[in-house]
Amino acid sequence: MRYKNNILDKLNQIDIIANRINVQVNRGGTQEQVLESIETLKEAIEQTRSMISIESDDFENQFSPR
């Protein structure tokens, strides 16, 4: 997987955002702050999804006839 490090970095960012949402909820953050963090989380997930979808499927290619 060519973009493995990029995807792992993005997953770390997603984890950080999820932890931020948890802290905001537990400490009584404003609804606006929580919603903004949720939107950021959704964007990060979508970016990760698109990074994975453009990656060639090495497993599939391994078994394709040559």
Q: What is the pLDDT of residues 2-48, one digit of tens each?
A: 678 989 999 999 999 999 999 999 999 999 999 999 999 999 999 99
Report how far residue 38's alpha carbon sits from residue 51's, in angstroms, rounded to the nearest whole number: 20
- pLDDT of 1 higher than 80: no
pLDDT tens-place string over residues 43-65:
999 999 998 888 676 656 666 66
Between CA 54 and CA 21 the distance in angstroms is 29
* DSSP-derived secondary structure letter, 30: -
